[in-house]
Amino acid sequence: MKVIILILIVYALALSVALARKGPHRKAVKPIAREWGNQLSILIIGATGGTGRQLVKQALELGHYVTALARKPAELTIEHPKLRVIKDDVLDYESVESAMRGQNAVSFGLASRAAPLPISC
Instruction: Identify the band that residue 79 occupies on the pLDDT scale cut at 50, 70 and 90.
Output: very high
Q: Provide the whole-model pTM.
A: 0.63
The tally of domains found in the chain comes to: 1
The DSSP H or E segment spanning 68 is strand 65-70
Domain membership of residue 23 (yes or no) is no
Task: Tell me the backbone φ, ψ of residue 3, rounded to 5 degrees.
Answer: -65, -40
CATH number at residue 76: 3.40.50.720
Please tell me the predicted confidence (pLDDT) of residue 23: 59
- Tell me the pLDDT tens digit for each residue of 36-76: 567 889 999 989 888 899 999 999 998 899 999 998 889 99
Domain of residue 53, residue span: 41-108
Domain membership of residue 18 (yes or no) is no
Both ends of the chain: CA-CA distance in Å?
Answer: 57
